[in-house]
Amino acid sequence: MLPGMTSSSAPASPAEPAAERIEATRLIPATPGEVFAVLRDPQGHVDIDASGMLMDAEGEPASAVGDRFLVHMDREALGDLPMGRYDVEVVITAYEPDREIAWTIEGTIKPPLRHVYGYRLEPADGGTLVTSYCDWSDLREDLRPFLTFPIVPESALKGTLGILDRTRTLRDAVGLGVAVGLYGIAFGAAADAAGLDAWQALTLSLLMFTGASQFALVGVLGAGGSAPAAVGSALLLGTRNTVYGVRMAPLLAPRTALGRAAAAHWVIDETTAMAVGAPDRELGRLAFWATGATIYLGWNAMTLVGALGASGLGGTAAAALDSVVPAAFLALLWPRLTTRGSAEPGVQRRVALGGAVVALALTPFVPAGVQVIAAVVAVALAGRSSTRTERPA
C-alpha cells in the first residue's frame, strides 16, 4: 500500500477520522435537498462519477436502508485489476434524508468485502457542505493481505464533488433558461398587439435580446408613440446591460474581439445574475453560457409562438392581451422593489411611484410615449446614496 493514501482531507469532520478512511469535503451551492436528490438516484451516481468506472445504473432511487440498485462497472478505467466489465449491487446501509446516505458494494467477491462509501450533508452559508467518504475499517480480515485500499483514490472523491458542483450549476442555469424562455410568448403576443408582424417581433428577440427593452419598444409603439420615443425607452432600459458588461468582462475574459462581440450579446439580467452568483469563475462562465444559450433559444422560439398565436384572436382574447402587457411590466418591475431583488427597496419604490405619477400626469399634454421617457426624471428621487460604501473606481 502506498504511504499517504489514507490521509484525510476533511476539515469539517466532527470526529478524528479512522485511519482506514478517506474523505473529501466541498461546499456545493445548492440546498441539502437538491444535493440529496442527485445522491439517492442511481443515475445521479453515474452522472457525477469521477473514477470513470460507472458506466450505467439500473433501479429506483433509494428511499430506505436495505434498498438496492445495480451498477454496471468498467475496471479498465481504474486499471488496477484485469476485471474488465462487471456488475455490482449497491446496498444502502445508511439513509437519513438530506443528511446522509451510505452504501456497501456486493460484487464479484463473495461474501462481500464490507467497505462503505457515503455522503454526509450539512447545511452551510451559501449552500451545503458535502463530504464524500470511503471507509474500509470493517473490511474482511481474510482479504486484507490481497487488497489495496482505498480502491478509488481520494482525488476521485474530490473530482466527484467537483462534478456534483458543476451538475448543480448546469441544472440551475438550464432550469432558469427554460422558465425565462417561456416569457417569450408574452413578448410575441405584446408585439402583435402593438402592430408589429411576426418577423419584426422575431428580429427584436434575435438582435435586441433584452426583455425589458423589447417590451418597452412595443409598449410605446402600441400606445401610439413615435418611433424616437419607443427607441429612446428601449435604449434607456438597455443602459443597465452596460453596467452588467463591466462586471462580466473580467469574469468572461474573452480572448478575441469576436469572442467579446459574441459574449456581449448575451449580457442580460439573468445571465449576469447566474454568473455572478456562481461559486467561482469557471462555474460562473459555465452558468453564463448555459443560461444564455437556453434563454436565447427559448426566447426566440416562444416569441414566434406568441406572435403567430396572437394574430387572429377575437375580442375577448384581445382584451386578455391588453391586460397581459401592463402585467408583464409589473412583473419585470416587482423584483426591483423587494428586499430580495434590491439593496434599497424603499428608494426603488419611491422612484417607481414617482415615475408612474409623472407619466400619468404628462399623458394629456405630450405626444404618446414621450411621458415614459420623461418619467426618468423620477430618478432624482433616489437622491444620494446613504448606505452604499464607495467602491474604489
Partner 1 sequence: MSGDALWAAVVVASVGCYLLKLAGMSVPAAWVEQPFVARVVDFVPAALLAALVAVQGLTSDDRVVVDGRLAGLAVAALALALRAPFIVVIVLAGAAGAGVHVLTG
Kindly identify the residues of this chain, within the stretch 33-62, that bind partner 1 according to CB under 8 A: none
Show the cell assigned to 124.
452551510
242 belongs to the binding site for partner 1 (CB under 8 A): yes
Q: Which is nearer to partner 1, 104 or 233 (CB)?
A: 233
Q: Which is nearer to partner 1, 97 or 195 (CB)?
A: 195
CA pair distance 84, 102, nearest whole angstrom: 25
Show the cell assigned to 63.
428511499
243 belongs to the binding site for partner 1 (CB under 8 A): yes
Applying CB under 8 A, among 1, 15, 64, 393 the residue interacting with partner 1 is 393
Q: In the window 347-366, what residues touch partner 1 (CB under 8 A)?
A: 347-349, 351-360, 363-365
Show the cell assigned to 230.
419607443
Applying CB under 8 A, among 53, 62, 129, 248 the residue interacting with partner 1 is 248
Q: In the window 134-193, what residues touch partner 1 (CB under 8 A)?
A: 179-180, 182-183, 185-186
Number of residues lying near partner 1 (CB under 8 A): 108
Quick check: 276 and 291 in contact, CB under 8 A?
Answer: no
Shortest reach from residue 304's CB to partner 1, in Å: 15
CA pair distance 237, 217, nearest whole angstrom: 10
Applying CB under 8 A, among 105, 156, 164, 231 the residue interacting with partner 1 is 231
Q: In the window 258-277, what residues touch partner 1 (CB under 8 A)?
A: 260-261, 263-265, 267-268
Strand pairing category for 21-28 and 85-96: unpaired
Q: Which is nearer to partner 1, 77 or 331 (CB)?
A: 331
CA pair distance 388, 250, nearest whole angstrom: 23
Placement of cell 418591475 in the chain: 333
Locate all alpha helices (DSSP H) within the chain, ordered by sequence. 32-39, 42-48, 154-182, 184-193, 198-203, 211-222, 227-252, 257-265, 269-277, 281-310, 315-333, 345-362, 370-374
200 belongs to the binding site for partner 1 (CB under 8 A): yes
108 belongs to the binding site for partner 1 (CB under 8 A): no
331 belongs to the binding site for partner 1 (CB under 8 A): yes
Q: Which is nearer to partner 1, 65 or 376 (CB)?
A: 376
CA triple 83-132-17, angle to 5 deg? 105
Q: In the window 300-329, what residues touch partner 1 (CB under 8 A)?
A: 315-317, 319-329
